[in-house]
Structure 1
Amino acid sequence: MNTLTDVVVIGGGQAGLAAGYHLRRRKLDFVILDAQSSAGGAWQHTWDSLHLFSPAGFSSLPGRLMPAQPGQEYPDAAHVVDYLSDYEQRYSLPVHRPITVRAVRRDGPRLRLETDAGRWSARAVISATGTWWRPFLPAVPGREVFAGRQLHTTGYRRPSDFAGQHVIVVGGGNSGAQIAADLATSKDVGLTWVTQRPPRFLADDIDGRALFDAATARRRALDEGLTDTGGVASLGDIVAVPPVRAARDAGLLKAQPMFTALTEGGVQWADGTRAQADAVIWCTGFRPALSHLAPLGLRGERGHIATQGTRAVDEPRLHLLGYGDWTGPASATLIGVGRPARDAVADIAAMVTG
């Protein structure tokens, strides 16, 4: 099968759906290819206690406000999955799943997509695969000798999975703090939280609304050649969502400095101090999931694809959406992806109809 269309969107999570909304409004011929078997993107694979940083009204995709979740100021991940599923259906977005895009190649005036369900040929491609599928693990000595369980943020679900065990959580960002708080409040789990630098909690009254404003202000300043405001990083690293705030205020979130190596039975610090551990959870971030774009040869020396806005500089038929500030202020968030999605589709529409 070799299907022709104007635009192919790779990824059916929040970024892909935002792109689909604007493509539908422009009345372009398009499809969304999603590797997942059901709607909801990465939100359907998160840990049980995860909640948004912002109220529902400030966590919406273009065209459709997220309804409030009864009894919750900050909706949980299951509510987000329901919202994304409803969003797909409301706008009749042509999502095909499960289909994995293995490669995108140049094919004369078009781009050819090779998948596990045939080929698509498009005049433009929007890559919206996110980062969840490419977890980053640091090269720490001893990882191969540690006898316990090692998992990344992507593999964590609930404290009961570690009942009777001592767990070391690595990472001073939001995921590390939230998972550490989740485990710290369980009476059946021992916890050591380690961070590269002392944890930097944002002020308790700051949530996703302020973070979006900070990211937008930074992008505006950079675009206008003004002094870098520092954006979100200038405010801190950890949003004090209610569970994190409660654990912190109870004295349960006391971080230790980063260890220097893993041992067979735990971890060891530079001064020789050791701690026993049954499991290590690496909350150490992600990298963009872009292996499908490798045949285009767009990566620079540090593996970064140069972009102008969302458009790839060396392949103007390709747009990258939802990978963070790299492709638009706060574009890895529900509320932040709408504007870069609109701009990407406007650029594509001009090319396709021009």
Structure 2
Amino acid sequence: RHYERVHLHTAKRFSSLPFAPFPRDYPRYVPRDLFVDYLDAYAQRFDLRPRFGETVRAITRRGRSWLVDTTTGPLHASNVVIASGNNAEPLMPGFAGADTFKGRKLHSADYRNAMPFAGQPVLIVGMGNTGAEIALDLVEGGARPTISVRGGVHIVPRELLGVPIQMIGMAARLMPQRINDALFPIILDLALGRLEKYGLKRPKQGMLQQISEASRIPTIDIGTVSKIREGAIKIVPDIAEITEQGARFADGRHGEFDAIIFATGFRPGYAKLLEPGVQPERSGVNARASE
């Protein structure tokens, strides 16, 4: 369900599954198709048997075991691991006027490639990693993308002096957070330039503070920033309302678009599967589930 050009933004050295590093001939940042090949090989090696196209409807306690109700029938298990992550269900914001828009609306989960949007003005809502990469994909595919950014955004290059930013971030954790949050803006301005003049402001929270307190990772740039500098990708503020032909923004401007892509994130979907009392706490653990 991911768009076709997606690559891991983290280096393969730190992104493999247990007991099976990525093949040596894989690039540092693994593309979608090779990652699928890797998962298939992993499942075969460890005799994992995924059941595709099967939806779990409910998970309930049955004495000391669990009953998993699926679309193809019940399953019984001593233990259940819900590994759907935080990105299970697309999150669609409720903008005023959204129902009046006459163009195409879709969530980033439904975006595949730029082909259907070639030559069209397209609004992307949100500039996380997905929104930034979709905007780049669109401009490379002949579309005219504009990104709506609600607040500040931390943007980092994928590499600094040939070193993956992930490794730099890991090393930076050895220093006090306040020092890192003071130094990183200076380093990033040298690497990417001052982006405020393009409409991209940093949040008040420091980058590492935002990661630790809000679990929000920075946007890892793989070419979007250069397209913004060129003027090929436009930046606008938050949406005030959606209109029949496009959107009106917080600064009063109005833009006309043929499509709006909501790169507005996801939410966990596991809570609805579990009966009250065993839903996990914020930490992901509920001690009562094992009672």
TM-score above 0.5, yes or no: yes
In structure 2, the CA distance between the partners of 1:212 and 1:248, relative to structure 1 (3 Å rule), is: farther
1:174 Cα deviation from its structure 2 partner? 0.7
Which whole-Å CA distance do the structure 2 matches of 1:313 and 1:215 have between them?
31
**Match in the other structure for 2:2:** 46
Q: Which amino acid aligns with 1:194?
A: S
User: What is the Cα-based RMSD across aligned positions, in Å?
Assistant: 3.0
Q: Encode CA deviations 1:105-132: one digit per residue, 9 max, x unaligned.
A: 1112222111122222222211112344
1:184 Cα deviation from its structure 2 partner? 2.4
1:211 Cα deviation from its structure 2 partner? 5.2
Which whole-Å CA distance do the structure 2 matches of 1:294 and 1:213 have between them?
39
Alignment of structure 1 residues 26-37 onto 2, 5 Å: none
Q: Encode CA deviations 1:23-80: one digit per residue, 9 max, x unaligned.
A: xxxxxxxxxxxxxxxxxxxxxx21121111123222211000012455x431211111
Contact 1:306 1:314 in 2 (8 A): no
**Match in the other structure for 1:57:** 13
**Match in the other structure for 1:247:** 227
Alignment of structure 1 residues 1-354 onto 2, 5 Å: 45-69=1-25, 72-186=27-141, 188-203=142-157, 204-205=159-160, 206-210=164-168, 230=209, 232=211, 237-241=218-222, 243-248=223-228, 250-299=230-279, 305-306=280-281, 310-316=284-290
After alignment, is 128-137 or 75-84 more displaced?
128-137
Where does the alignment leave 5 or more consecutive residues of structure 2 unmatched? 177-207
Q: Which amino acid aligns with 1:238?
A: T
Q: Which amino acid aligns with 1:176?
A: G
Contact 2:210 2:217 in 1 (8 A): no
After alignment, is 206-215 or 190-199 more displaced?
206-215
Which whole-Å CA distance do the structure 2 matches of 1:288 and 1:214 have between them?
29
In structure 2, the CA distance between the partners of 1:129 and 1:213, relative to structure 1 (3 Å rule), is: farther
Contact 1:170 1:284 in 2 (8 A): yes
1:296 Cα deviation from its structure 2 partner? 3.8
Which whole-Å CA distance do the structure 2 matches of 1:290 and 1:217 have between them?
36
Which whole-Å CA distance do the structure 1 matches of 2:94 and 2:211 have between them?
27
Which whole-Å CA distance do the structure 2 matches of 1:269 and 1:231 have between them?
26
1:294 Cα deviation from its structure 2 partner? 3.4
Which whole-Å CA distance do the structure 1 matches of 2:105 and 2:44 have between them?
38
Identity percentage of aligned residues: 30
- TM-score, scaled relative to structure 2: 0.77
1:198 Cα deviation from its structure 2 partner? 4.0
Which whole-Å CA distance do the structure 2 matches of 1:251 and 1:288 have between them?
36
Aligned residue pair count: 255
Q: Which amino acid aligns with 2:156?
A: L
Q: Which amino acid aligns with 2:281?
A: A
Which whole-Å CA distance do the structure 2 matches of 1:209 and 1:247 have between them?
26
1:306 Cα deviation from its structure 2 partner? 0.8
Contact 1:133 1:289 in 2 (8 A): yes
Choose between structure 1 and 2 for higher RCO, CA contacts under 8 A separated by at least 6 residues: 2
Q: Which amino acid aligns with 1:57?
A: R
Q: Which amino acid aligns with 2:107?
A: H
Where does the alignment leave 5 or more consecutive residues of structure 1 unmatched? 1-44, 219-228, 300-304, 318-354
Q: Which amino acid aligns with 2:79?
A: A
Which whole-Å CA distance do the structure 2 matches of 1:180 and 1:217 have between them?
34
Q: Which amino acid aligns with 1:278?
A: D
**Match in the other structure for 2:193:** none
Which whole-Å CA distance do the structure 1 matches of 2:57 and 2:169 have between them?
34
1:212 Cα deviation from its structure 2 partner? 6.2
